[in-house]
Structure 1
Amino acid sequence: MKITVAPSAGFCFGVKRAINLAIDSASKFDTELNTLGPIIHNPQVVSQLKEKKIFPVDTIDEIKSDKVIIRSHGIKADIENKILQKNIAIIDATCPFVKRSQEYIRKAFLEGYFIIMVGDDKHPEVQSVISFADSSRYKVVNKLEELNKIKFDEKIALISQTTQDTNFYLSIICEVFKKTSKEIIVFNTICDATKLKQEEAAFLSSKSDIMIVVGGYNSANTNKLKNICRKIQNNTYHIETEEELKQEWFIGAENIGITAGASTPDWIIEKVVGKIQSFDIL
């Protein structure tokens, strides 16, 4: 049995930056710190950070010190203003690619574009980014048919969640061009790490008898990887930890592919590999 781990599996630049900034800040200030929401979508990492006195909270009123760490997904513009009004210092762990998206939205809004954002409207990144435009000046879509709710009688700006499926974003772009002759501006906001992970996942799925996708169940990019893999290899399993692996999945399999979301640390991936290797499979 051969096990192949996708080269880019695991932490991306933005996640590494957020985790390191949180740990360094807790050490520097030698005090308990809060993140507004989980800093990344991985419960095992969030749990580890608690050992370093870094605790997630859901609201501003729960912040226990005069400093707060902003999660990698960013926060809404109005929430940021409320934090500053309370004289709470911001330690900004927002992914730089998300920050760039926020600036794109702000610019498009000020220049009078109607904004179409492709993503999950319940995801904290999408809520963060789109908050930099007036609520009457945008529409978040996650399905092609949702474009039918838009009038397309003015110039359009298109932007995507940074972890969106590249092919789906392209399909939305093509459909918008079919629907209007008005000016269209397209922002390329899917991060390079996401694109690479998706390409590797697709290739590895085509060469594997089983695909294991490792990452938080609430992780958008991990779920996108799962969907990409499952379209190619039906024997695709999404797990958070090695404890969820079942030996019967691997009976008769010769090639095992493993990929992992951007919020999955190396130590979890290594445990998954080790558990598979420990199975007594003839």
Structure 2
Amino acid sequence: MKKVIIADNAGFCFGVKRAMNMAWEELISNEDKKVYALGPLIHNKQAVSKYEEKGLITVDSMEQIEEGNLEMIIRSHGVAKKIYDEAEIRKIDIIDTTCPFVKKIHQIVNKSYNEGKQVLVLGDKDHPEIIGINGWCMDKAIIAKTLEDVKKIDLNSDKKYIVVAQTTMNEKEFEKIIDYINSIDLNIEIENTICSATRVRQQSARDLSEKVDVMVVIGGKHSSNTQKLVKICKEVVDTLAIETSEELKNIDFNNYETIGVTAGASTPDWIIQDTISYLENL
């Protein structure tokens, strides 16, 4: 039997758990209403499928939402201000499951923009969280993902800047960028908006990677925080990235005695437990 060790911090974070609970409550308490989700509820297709079986309707845009007796869930990633404005015009009831840590970034960005500051967002420009954040400064933010991206920006010492980060950003990459920014003579305010749970989860994965022969990282292929865990673990040890235990069935574990397991913030407990059971029975 293999030795399987689960990271101290793995699986649903506070924001995702809160969003999933709020969405489920709406589905079971308002069966007479249509309940829409603007974008996949979380980046885990297995979990989303369970909610859709219960009646959740996932759409990509508000144009796909019909008129009538309905509610719209704003997922934990958050959305742009214009989404709230359109919902108010169309009299669509909103169930706002935006993570409080993301909501805080919206407030910082909106206030700073109204004060005339240039917003610099560190993160993936295509990620829904970043798209939503940018929507609180009229889509006028400068967005950079890496130190190399930041070095290409023409930063002006005559301007006032505010820096925020995607909640799931890699802490080490953030620190490298801030060190560089601090080396330049700028009028700049820096807000470290990386979620504390993300920091702890990443460090937990890094620590466990140093103690095992292989790491198994469970989470959606489109989950930003999961892919960052994969990158962190790969820097230390052989790493397998999976969505479910099915993907492990063709993997040869004969050369590995101790297996570490971690999971992204949008990975349900039942998928984690199923994976651990499979590994323990090898």
TM class, shorter-chain normalised? over 0.9
Comparing both structures, which one devotes a greater share of its residues to helix?
Answer: 1
* Distance in 2 of aligned mates of 1:200 and 1:186: 26
Contact residue 7 and residue 205 of structure 2 kept, 8 A:
yes
How many residues matched?
Answer: 276
* Distance in 1 of aligned mates of 2:260 and 2:48: 26
- 1:122-201 aligned at under 5 Å gives the runs 122-136=126-140, 138-147=141-150, 148-153=152-157, 154-179=159-184, 181-201=185-205
Return the offset for 1:80: 2.1
Residue 111 of structure 2 corresponds to residue 110 of structure 1? no
* Distance in 1 of aligned mates of 2:131 and 2:217: 26
* Distance in 2 of aligned mates of 1:38 and 1:212: 24
User: What whole-Å deviation, never above 9, does each CA across 1:148-176 have from its counterpart, x for those lacking one?
Assistant: 22323322211000000011111111111
SS, match of residue 146 in structure 1 = helix
Return the offset for 1:76: 1.4
Return the offset for 1:133: 0.8
Return the offset for 1:185: 1.0
> Which TM-score applies when normalising by structure 1?
0.94
* Distance in 1 of aligned mates of 2:138 and 2:27: 35
User: What whole-Å deviation, never above 9, does each CA across 1:38-63 have from its counterpart, x for those lacking one?
Assistant: 11111001000012211211121222
* Distance in 2 of aligned mates of 1:246 and 1:113: 53
The 3 A distance-change label for structure 1 pair 248 and 71 is closer
User: What whole-Å deviation, never above 9, does each CA across 1:188-240 have from its counterpart, x for those lacking one?
Assistant: 2111110110000000001110000000000000000000000111x101100
In the other structure, the counterpart of 2:4 is: 3
Residue 42 of structure 2 corresponds to residue 40 of structure 1? yes
Return the offset for 1:29: 1.5
CA RMSD, Structure 1 to Structure 2 (Å): 1.3
The 3 A distance-change label for structure 1 pair 249 and 141 is farther
In the other structure, the counterpart of 2:63 is: 61
SS, match of residue 207 in structure 1 = coil
Structure 1 residues 245-254 or 203-212, which shifts more?
A: 245-254
* Distance in 1 of aligned mates of 2:258 and 2:281: 16
One-letter amino acid of the counterpart of residue 186, structure 1: I
Structure 2 residue runs without a partner (length 5+): none
SS, match of residue 135 in structure 1 = coil
> Which TM-score applies when normalising by structure 2?
0.94
Structure 1 residue runs without a partner (length 5+): none
Return the offset for 1:183: 2.1
- 1:204-223 aligned at under 5 Å gives the runs 204-223=208-227
In the other structure, the counterpart of 2:264 is: 261
Structure 1 residues 46-55 or 24-33, which shifts more?
A: 24-33
SS, match of residue 235 in structure 2 = helix
Return the offset for 1:8: 1.4
One-letter amino acid of the counterpart of residue 226, structure 2: T
* Distance in 2 of aligned mates of 1:247 and 1:82: 48
Contact residue 36 and residue 70 of structure 2 kept, 8 A:
no
One-letter amino acid of the counterpart of residue 133, structure 1: C
Return the offset for 1:247: 5.3
Contact residue 119 and residue 126 of structure 1 kept, 8 A:
yes
In the other structure, the counterpart of 1:238 is: 241
One-letter amino acid of the counterpart of residue 79, structure 2: I
Contact residue 74 and residue 94 of structure 1 kept, 8 A:
yes
Q: Which runs of 4+ in 1 moved over 4 A?
A: none
One-letter amino acid of the counterpart of residue 53, structure 2: E
SS, match of residue 3 in structure 1 = strand
